[in-house]
Structure 1
């Protein structure tokens, strides 16, 4: 999914009264931020997937099942409730957004220094740069 597609999906969901991007952002923040999420994914056998998101080139996909395998079920349940969907659909939402978020916060194979800040601040900086440049 491209950054544009993610933004479009977020805009459409917000018009429906559900802000998927904010819900995903809160989910990532509740898991210790992007760095902790990347570390957790790497520890759970998704090294190649995470590496593709951090490096230039195409992002490997992550499935909803993979998301569910390393994610706390209560956290997924909370995300699902916020988004008005079931748990597998919430995991699918993460599988669409996480590659875009992590790819946008990475440079030359590592997370940017800005990714150490809270995700909301980082996301706002990315969006501002994408929309103005």
Structure 2
């Protein structure tokens, strides 16, 4: 009985080690950025803003999943092994933000007409907007 329990625990541990994933980051600087047109730069900024919104949804989904596994893990040990604590989404979000900042810098140097967005301002504005919509 003890061997069977230990075997199951080891199998669960091995499966859990595969549960987390590596972050897929992008480089902030990419060769040829300076040669791109304003439309191309702004299009890519928009693309990464959309990717950030998608990743924020993934972070929320992962958090909900981890909470459910944590509650279940209070009664059964095995679900705790399947929690994803890698933070891959947050690392990817940071790389997207750095890329956007780099693209905005290049666009400003080219004197493209747009309003750059600072990510700290977005965080501050969200709670105020949430209060006004309630």
Question: TM-score scaled by structure 1?
Answer: 0.22
The structure having more radius of gyration, on CA atoms, is 2
Higher relative contact order (CA 8 A, sep 6+): 2
